[in-house]
Chains A and B, each alone.
Chain A
Amino acid sequence: MAQVVFSSWGRNVVDNRSGGETKEATFRLPTTFDGETVLGAFMGWDGIILYDKEVDVPAMAAEYMRRLQTLYVCGKCTPGKKGTRVAMDALGAIVAGKGKESDLAVIEELAELLKNCKCTLCPTSMVPVFDAVKHFRDDFVAYINGSKSPANRHRLVHKYTAPCQDKCPAHIDIPAYIEAIKEYRYDEALEVIRDNMPLPSVCGRVCPHPCETACRRKQVDEPISIMVLKRTASDYEWQHNIKPPMVPKPRKNKTVGIIGAGPAGVAAAYYLALEGYTSTIYEALPEGFGGGMIAVGIPPYRMPRHLLQRDIDIICSMGSEIKYGVRVGKDISLAELKQKHDAVFIAPGAHRSKPMGVEGEDKGYKGFLRGGIDFLREAYMKQPTGMGKKVCVVGGGNTAIDCVRVALREGAEESTLLYRRSRKEMPADVWEVDGADEEGVRFEFQVLPTKILVDANEQVTGVECVRMALGEPDASGRRRPEPVPGSEFVVECDTVIPAIGQDPDLSFIPPDLGIDITKWNTVVTKYVPLKGADGKGLLDGMGNPLSRILITDMDGVFAGGDAEIGPLTVVACIGNAHRAARVIQRWLEEGKAYLADDDLMEDILNYLPVYDKNEQVPWLDSVARAHQTEVHGKERASKGNYQEVELGFKDTQAVKEAERCLRCYRMAMIAV
């Protein structure tokens, strides 16, 4: 197990250099960088972590400052621009054997002065440098008096990031686009967004915005409205009829076949197109329903279809083609695709409803619908849904909420949601639940459907339920809901929609191709075996290996999106597909599928993570978070009314909101 030699991380000094009793310190860092090369040291905004005492700390600090100043310092504030340059030259002189001891005092002084900077990049950069000078002073002095010269034993890898950017599954450079909006440069903002997010109108509207949970402004008052600012940039282009500026590289002669025109499929096509690779996307749904789960899962009052289509049209205009109405496995086989294209990307999504496990659900009763996701798809495609007037939806996720809200718009007189836990335990986004509430949805929390009731014609008449209460803590320490004896009751309804969840339908993958499938019905992809200090493999939030290469066990076949991750979010699928596109490009050009330094750093920092909810953030809380305009009242959910409910910011409101951003950039560097 990796032993910490020295650490100042989190302002907590652990120094095991002088021997004696070893003090323990563990960090959420892997023992290796890439599964093989041992992590020697980590330097960043909160200090230094040294695992290998051979790491040359002064040289690392000098290189840290050099890269920061020459690659990332924005130059837009005096102490940042000039102070880091003074520090860089001082450290450079020391390592070059031309330093003076007074340079160390200057660095210490700058660490204090730079706290007056405009943003956090330069002040945080002084933290590890200051720690180095303070705790490794002898090494600096050795350089200064000529008794030491650089050894270059370690390779240094760095990454520039921010808490929000790290938390965003697509790793959008959020501070950059917010800064652009602050400067009234919506076009530049959108350009930054598109670097990592090819569906800006979508993720400016329906993203669960995990980034906002990692916003340091939260420690001052409330997080920046990161998502709606993204919408602002995207809407500006649309509302001003601006032609998107992307220019793909010259076309190359290799093509990629993509299964599914969902977020993952079109995102991969977008980034491959930018690199000059043409993709053909095979989409089972008919034309007009590109966008996968966005088109058939997310309601139009949250995501206007013409804007989704605009984003898709832009992607297609860059040199990709979507073949609609082609179901792989039926109209064309996976093997044929493999033949036709130089690489194949499997991204069919998760469109199969899960059974809810209730008595009668398999009887084919009239009014018992197949599943939430099927109901939504049929409603959007204007197909008969089988819905009556009194609708019961079972589930607690966003799909369940979409179902109760869409049911109203499809003309339901009553729309009820049944969920076995409490409101605050719902996996659905809070604002979606509130939205349903406002539209008149009835909620039954902590109830478990036990039986579907029908009349003589096998028409659903109700759902028998039992109330749930929290029982004794189980092995995991979590109190599980348990039925309360004798609390049975009936919810009358003519329609029951189970919206328990969905999983991918991977029946098109023949078993003989060697592509492995997990027990959760997702595609297995290769990964970098990163291990924690305890020797266990590192996992992401979905329980998948942390650092996945996204190539399947079959050469040239890659997988991504919900079918690889498990059902998650648009933004996660896009981040995942963007990585897949990079790996596919490497595979097409170098014949190897691998993760580059930057991909690995991304995963390592994400695991760390960059955001620290306990950090004290001194700032004046004089501007509250802005809220977008919203249509209110039950009428917004009247029959047939799919008009957008949330209306975005005015531009000037967006600029004011962007001005709240603290621009929390920071740089990490590792020695391996």
Chain B
Amino acid sequence: MVTLTIDGRDVTVPKGSTILEAARQIGITIPTLCWLEKVSPTGACRICAVEIEGIDRTMTACNTPVKEGIKVTTQSEKLAEIRRKVMELMLVNHPLDCPVCDAAGECDLQNCTYGLQAAKPEYAANLERHKIRYDWPLIESDPNRCILCEKCVKVDHEVVGCDAIHVVNRGDSTIIDTVDGKPLNCEFCGNCVGVCPTGTLISKPFKFRGRPWSFTVTKSVCGFCSTGCQIEYHSRNNRVERVTSDDSTYNSGNLCINGRFGYSYLNAVGRLNAPLVGGAKSDWNGAMAFAVGKLQEIVKTHGGGAVAGIGSPRVTNEESFLFQKLLREGVGTGNIDSEARLGYAQTKTILWERLGSSGAGSSIDRLDRAGAILVVGCDLNAESTGMEYRVIKAATKNDAKLVLANPRAVKLKKYANVHLQNRPGAELALVSGLVKAIVDEGLENKEFVASRTSGFDTLKSSLAGQSLADLAAAAGVTEAELLDAARNLGGKADVAIVFGADVIRGVARSETVRAIADLALVLGAPAGEQGGVFPVEQKNNIQGMLDMGVSPDFLPGYKPAAAPGKDLWQIVEGIEQGSIKALYLLGCNPLVSFPENARIRAALAKLDLLIVQDIQSSDLSSMAHVVFPGAAAAEKSGSFTTPDNRIQCLNRAVTPPGEAREDWDILAEVYSRLTGKPHARNVAEVTAELKVETGIYDGSCQMNDGRCSGLIKAMPPAPSVYGFGTLPSIPPAVAGKQPFTLIVGAIGFHNGTMSTASENNLTVSAEGYIEIAAEDAARIGIADGARLKVSSPAGSMNGPAKVSNKLQPGILFAPHHFAGLNASALLPAGSSFVGVTVEKG
């Protein structure tokens, strides 16, 4: 600790603190303009200049670390004059378009000018104007308004890791621009807009939508991926016009394209705004009566087992709770499942068994300070951008070693100490190889293994029969790479293992997740103060949905179902075989994002009753007998739970469009009509009920300045002894019959299918594509943008080629978000990749 004096007051702060931090601790405000806590200090504006006794110049408080015994003056006539004159210099040739500047009313430059009383222009220079960049998508840049605080560049580089914008030119011509001067081509997370203190970088969709002070600001939680970022909806006239996030949030104000710009799906033309019966507009009474009547008829004739429901990771905990209650109690069926069946549900169960519930989803802020991180089978940028920011932070700001295992050169590659470019589907061999390499090299966490585990010898003997060379070959990497990865991961205090869709939705997923559990134990990941095990899911409330019992085998709170119902694929089979007559689809579209969806489409056509409760009209809603228009996250109340078990309440910013209603309200009414029991009156009532029913909640929700806290999941303590498993013997890799392997997955510009209704997202990512390695494209004679036809046993697709240097030859990648491309249709159930043939389309 260091003690210093600021304006005559003593303050003691940790060594390495800045003068600014020390001053804040005792409530002394030093004006700042370029300072931004979450990035490295810049010291550009010079506004925070202070005097230090004995130092014959001013020092900037924001980037000067404290020293024992120094005497700092933050307010003096001299300082006031320096600050005022510097402000006057800053304002030389600053445009006077404040009346039409989007930042007016929330402009730090205005506030600072006012605060420092820089009232008259004392300096002048010849006027030169920079071109305003109207040609960038989503973001507009007016360099003339820029004060070169570098916040945007630093957030782009240090937080996002995108490096799209830089400080370019020299002297007074210095501006923020793209490196090559071409239109911005980046991830469009808009975090640069978020931190811009002036109107230099502004959101194009928000431009001229209203003055900042004219909006109602509603604090809520993002409804796209499972990171669970805290956001603010800015709404006016019942329209959300922008989304922001404050730096004081859990996510430090950082969002991704979906969080910041994805809101435009709320205002999409295709929103369902009235109930439909048989494709025709109806009223609620008619639609409800039809659906309930039909359901009752089917139950009466065929029993409850003839009805099934598929839930949604998009809806709130309360809605998932009501959905399972409706099916189980109202209909009398246990046939309830969701897309968690594609892998997440099983993954969670295995991790729960092996690592205990707390080890099955460590809180994601434990990534920030992990000592070493393995990211396997996951494009974090696409699957959980907010977690990617944390991995970047760990790697750059906290010296974490990073091992990336992915067939593709995804964004994190640039931070990776080792990139294991494994064969698609070879994650099990890869993880087994890592376990083997770590054990062979003696790099296991010996203390943890000795004191907290059992069965290490069994694990070792299960590895004995296989050589590292064989495992490397099966994984499609080299032995040296595995050893290199092992050395980067082994012997570290706080190891994090992050894995995503290629594992969770991949082949041999259960064995792979078990192997990951063993790897975690070998590395002592469950025992570290930081790090842990992080399964990654792409949709916001998959965890809450499972907690609520939207699952054939678990009731709310993971109480085992007395008689398990049919799971997702059994439901599909049931429909195909005619035993299931009615299907209730809540907020999910299996026709786009599910594998083998041509088969599912054919099955749905056979149903006597298809109830679709959704927000967006689609092929699916046009197939439905009844459509209930639901509400999006901005339009309702309730709570979401992230995979790391943070429960967060939503706040309603706007009302659902037209006749549409909040989903809990619809479900409650259907239940009430089916059972004759009273209708839940509000969300709080449902929350109270599910707290009792699940038994996994503790505390109670308290709203504090628009954000809730207090409600937590009561996690059983970590086991005192973790048991190792055995690793299965890995057969050597056999070359696939097909010349190409197609990987289907997520991309950063979208989340699920919801964002494909967002005009903003579509501005930068309008349609699906088929990414192909440059070598392959050259060989086939395909230019970038030319059509490709790709076929698998399950189906085929036709889309534009995207020639890429991020793929190994022989591998294709296609995003799964787009109904038009429908890449998931090519996948067999239980895999995220498939062998395909490729021809010119």
Contacts and interface: CB of A to CB of B under 8 A. Distances in A.
A69 B43 contact: no
Contact of B70 (A76, A113, A620): A620
Contacts of A242: 414
Nearest to A109: B85
Contacts of B604: none
A79 B81 CA distance: 13
B700 interface: no
B398 A86 contact: no
B92 interface: yes
Q: How large is the interface on A (under 10, 10 to 19, 20 to 34, 35 or more residues)?
A: 35 or more
B643 to A, nearest CB: 29
Contacts of A117: 46
A85 B91 CA distance: 13
B200 to A, nearest CB: 14
A565 to B, nearest CB: 35
Contacts of B419: 241
Nearest to B150: A76
Nearest to A106: B123
A538 B85 CA distance: 46
A246 interface: no
Contacts of A22: none
A18 interface: no
B503 to A, nearest CB: 23
B709 interface: no
A659 B63 contact: yes
B455 interface: no
Contact of B64 (A69, A71, A74, A620): A620
Interface stretch (B165-173, B285-293, B581-589, B607-615): B165-173
Interface residues of B, number: 53
Contact of A79 (B89, B171, B414): B89
20 contacts: A69-B170, A71-B171, A75-B148, A75-B171, A76-B167, A77-B44, A78-B147, A81-B148, A82-B89, A82-B125, A84-B172, A86-B124, A86-B125, A113-B86, A115-B58, A240-B415, A241-B418, A622-B64, A622-B67, A655-B40
B762 interface: no
Interface in B395-430: 396-399, 414-419
A637 B500 CA distance: 46
Contacts of B150: 76
Interface in A346-384: none
Contacts of A75: 148, 167, 169-174
A618 B85 contact: no
Contacts of B49: 116
A116 B173 contact: no
Given A78-B46, A82-B92, A113-B89, 10 more contacts: A75-B148, A77-B44, A79-B86, A83-B89, A115-B57, A117-B46, A184-B158, A620-B52, A622-B64, A652-B397
Interface in A112-129: 113, 115-118
A297 to B, nearest CB: 30
A623 interface: yes
A82 B121 CA distance: 13
Interface in B139-184: 147-148, 150, 154, 157-158, 167, 169-174
A242 B43 CA distance: 31
Given A73-B170, A183-B40, A185-B157, A78 B397 contact: no
Interface string A641-671: 0000000001110010001000000000000
B75 to A, nearest CB: 16
Query: Main SS of the interface on chain B?
Result: loop
A70 interface: yes
Contact of B171 (A73, A616, A650): A73
A182 interface: yes
A489 interface: no
Contact of A620 (B55, B86, B173, B399): B55
Nearest to A82: B89
Nearest to B416: A240
B126 interface: yes
A240 B147 contact: no
A437 interface: no
Interface of B: 40, 42-46, 49, 52, 55-60, 63-67, 70, 82, 85-86, 89-90, 92, 123-126, 147-148, 150, 154, 157-158, 167, 169-174, 396-399, 414-419
A241 B123 CA distance: 50
A660 to B, nearest CB: 10
Contacts of A78: 44-46, 86, 89-90, 147-148
A242 B150 CA distance: 26
A618 B44 contact: no
A85 B171 contact: yes
Contact of A86 (B42, B57, B92): B92
A182 B42 CA distance: 10
B45 A82 contact: no
B57 A618 contact: yes
A89 interface: yes
B814 to A, nearest CB: 27
Nearest to A618: B56
A184 B397 CA distance: 9
A184 to B, nearest CB: 5
Q: Which 8 A-B pairs have the closest CB atoms?
A: A75-B174, A622-B67, A618-B56, A85-B172, A82-B89, A69-B171, A73-B171, A618-B57
Interface string A75-116: 111110111111011000000000000000010000001011
A597 interface: no
A195 interface: no
A621 interface: yes
A194 B172 CA distance: 28
Contact of A113 (B56, B85, B416): B85
**Residue of B124, B171, B398, B399 ringed by the most chain A CB atoms within 10 A:** B171
Contacts of A652: 397-399
Nearest to A110: B123
Contacts of A431: none
B67 A620 contact: yes
Contact of A70 (B42, B60, B170): B170
B411 to A, nearest CB: 13
Contacts of B44: 76-78, 118
Interface in A49-88: 69-79, 81-86, 88
Contacts of B399: 650-652
A665 to B, nearest CB: 12
A239 interface: yes
A85 B55 contact: no
B418 A116 contact: no
Contact of B46 (A116, A183, A650): A116
A119 to B, nearest CB: 9
Contacts of A106: 123
Given A82-B125, A618-B55, A74 B417 contact: no
Nearest to B176: A75
Contacts of A113: 82, 85-86, 89
A623 B65 CA distance: 7
Contacts of A651: 396, 399
